[in-house]
Amino acid sequence: MEIFGQVLSFGHVIFLLLALGLALSFEFVNGFHDTANAVATVIYTHTLKPWIAVVWSGLFNLLGVLTSTGAVAFGIVALLPVELVIHVGSAAGFAMVFSLLISAIIWNVGTWYFGLPASSSHTLIGSIMGVGLANAMLSNGHGFGEGVNWDKAIDTGKALLFSPIMGFLCAGLLLLATKVLIKNKELYEAPEGKKAPPLWIRILLILTCTGVSFAHGSNDGQKGMGLIMLILIGIVPATFAVNLDTNPQAIQDLSSTAQTISFQMDKHSPGAAMAAGPVAEQYLSDYLKPSGKMGPDTFAAIGTKCREISSELEGHKSLTELNDDQRRALRNDLYLTSASLAKAVKQNLLTDPAEQKAAKDLAKHMDNLTKFIAAWVKFAVALALGLGTMIGWKRIVVTVGEKIGKSHLTYAQGASAELVAALTIMAADKYGLPVSTTHILSSGIAGTMAANRSGLQMETLRNIALAWVLTLPVCMFLGGAIFAFTLNVIFHALGIK
């Protein structure tokens, strides 16, 4: 059967459909949690009817997804074990995708059922870490901690930890500043029955809802996109291993630049000989592990891979001229070389400023060929988010509007929390960091309640905090356990290798 321009067996078609279904289900459930927060204020204050709010939010989620850079998507992918990323079409690669998605969906549905604004970002990252640790334990010669990119995990953890704190403080301060600048009492009232607020307040709340929706799409929507692209790369590499739309000039520039960088890497490895192909690949894979150290052989491996890439691209005007195996091999070489150059720059191993710049530029050019999101994937993710919001918004809206503070949410509190959430998420998106819309907005609401001296419902905050604390360890356990079971029991029984 031919799908996406590649002939697939019946088994691979089933795997593809199942994996895509799981990835879109994750985004659908994500709509219960995070996207529902975007519409909570306008629905709770009767600014917009629920169906209008959901459609409006879905539209701007779509725009956010479509205009996103992809940095967050591939920031998530960078947390995965390097050997599973480059061999995603193997049994372990398939088990990885299924396990982290299933564990994330289980936890998200459970917390949604109890009306807890849990974080889809925490959920997915915990599942990824669990899969990485399980893979390291099941692989011979791998230490327990080798399965996780700890540098990236620490950066991500900082973003997830500090963004709610920023939400709490900034939303509270913004509310206090608003009280000083805007004296109209209507802004500081809570909704009465089903009565809509004055027109100017409705416009304000619609704008802040729009901002959160757009920001959410540009950040949270990317998490599923990166995983879907991994699925496509593993099952349909002929079409998705590299960006086939890359123009001839970019191909030519990459080929010549890679050749130049190879000579610079040779200067760091005088006398070191490095075999091409799997040998150089193994050296780079080892370097990219948490305990990996740079040495002359590693520099030689980078130089060797640069020459291989240059040779593979030389004389070609389009990547469609490469056969299926060449595209798959090219992607692996580009991924390993780019990541190795980026790590070397981050560790200040390239001290010459000109050399640093050349390495960064080459890594960026390589990423353009491997880190891309197909347009239809963006539309599918945005649709899944919107559908999830339509079904699951009620529980989260009630929690945000009535169960965080001891008094009901006022118009000013909702607008302040949403504006801060939108700006915080956009800032995180710029740096490719995944953050939780749920935790930023709910902490923002709590901040405005504290600033307003409205009081906080400690039971709700305790439950939210408990979900926040438990999400990572529970999802790590679920992800690791499902990965081990899938790989060693289900796939072994089916004879999948």
CA distance 95 to 488: 10
Please say whether the beta carbons of 361 and 257 come within 8 A. Answer: yes
Residue carrying structure tokens 């959920």 = 123
Cβ-proximal residues to 88 (8 Å cutoff; 6+ apart), any chain:
94, 96, 97, 230, 231, 233, 234
Tell me the average pLDDT across 185-204: 86
Q: Quickly list H helices, 371-457.
A: 375-398, 411-430, 437-451
Q: Is the pLDDT of residue 396 over 70?
A: no
Please say whether the beta carbons of 455 and 407 come within 8 A. Answer: yes
Q: What 8-state DSSP symbol labels residue 309?
A: H
Residue of 87, 95, 125 lying closest to 107 (CA atoms): 125
φ, ψ of residue 7 in degrees (nearest 5): -80, 125
pLDDT of residue 177: 93
Q: Is the pLDDT of residue 395 over 70?
A: no
Residue of 172, 201, 171 lying closest to 187 (CA atoms): 201
pLDDT of residue 34: 63
CA distance 427 to 438: 16
Tokens (6 digits) for 300: 């030689």
Residue carrying structure tokens 């001891």 = 406
**Which DSSP string corresponds to 21-62?**
HHHHHHHHHHIIIIIHHHHHHHHHTTSS-HHHHHHHHHHHHH
Model confidence pLDDT, tens digit, residues 97-120: 889 889 988 988 887 777 666 677
Q: Which of 142-146, 387-391, 476-480 has the highest mean pLDDT?
A: 476-480
CA distance 464 to 118: 7
Q: Quickly list H helices, 268-410.
A: 278-287, 296-313, 324-346, 353-370, 375-398
Rg value, the chain, Cα? 24
Tokens (6 digits) for 71: 């940095």
Lowest mean pLDDT among 239-253, 404-418, 452-466: 452-466
pLDDT confidence tier of residue 237, bands split at 50, 70 and 90: confident
How far lies 153's CA from each of 81, 139, 145, 402, 417, in Å?
12, 21, 12, 34, 27
Q: DSSP 3-state assignment of 456?
A: strand
CA distance 95 to 117: 28
Q: What pTM did the predictor assign?
A: 0.82
Q: Is the pLDDT of residue 392 over 80?
A: no
pLDDT of residue 446: 85
- C-alpha neighbours within 13 Å on the C-beta side of residue 38: 36
Q: What 8-state DSSP symbol labels residue 405?
A: B
CA distance 79 to 132: 8
Residue carrying structure tokens 């600048």 = 181
pLDDT mean across residues, the chain? 83
Tell me the average pLDDT across 28-52: 78
CA distance 79 to 263: 30
Model confidence pLDDT, tens digit, residues 125-164: 888 888 888 887 877 555 556 666 676 677 777 777 788 8
Lowest mean pLDDT among 76-80, 209-213, 463-467: 463-467
CA distance 237 to 240: 5
Q: When comparing pLDDT for 176 and 223, which is higher? A: 176
Cβ neighbourhood burial of 497 (10 Å; 0-12, 13-18, 19+): exposed
CA distance 225 to 68: 11
Tell me the average pLDDT across 22-27: 88
pLDDT confidence tier of residue 205, bands split at 50, 70 and 90: very high
Model confidence pLDDT, tens digit, residues 284-343: 988 888 778 888 888 989 999 999 999 999 889 999 999 888 898 999 999 999 999 999
Tell me the average pLDDT across 362-376: 89
Strands of 189-329, DSSP E? none
- Strand 2-3 vs strand 6-7: parallel, antiparallel, or unpaired? antiparallel
Q: Is the pLDDT of residue 452 over 70?
A: yes
pLDDT of residue 41: 81
Residue of 37, 123, 71, 108 lying closest to 396 (CA atoms): 37
Q: Is the pLDDT of residue 75 over 60?
A: yes
pLDDT of residue 434: 74
CA distance 442 to 168: 8
Angle between helices 296-313 and 248-267 (to 10 degrees): 160
Please say whether the beta carbons of 116 and 459 come within 8 A. Answer: no
Model confidence pLDDT, tens digit, residues 251-296: 999 999 998 888 888 888 876 777 778 888 888 988 888 778 888 8
User: What are 456's strand-pairing partners?
Assistant: 405
CA distance 378 to 386: 12
pLDDT of residue 463: 73
Percentage, residues of the chain above pLDDT 70: 91
Q: What dihedral do alpha carbons 205, 207, 209, 213 form, nearest 10°?
A: 180
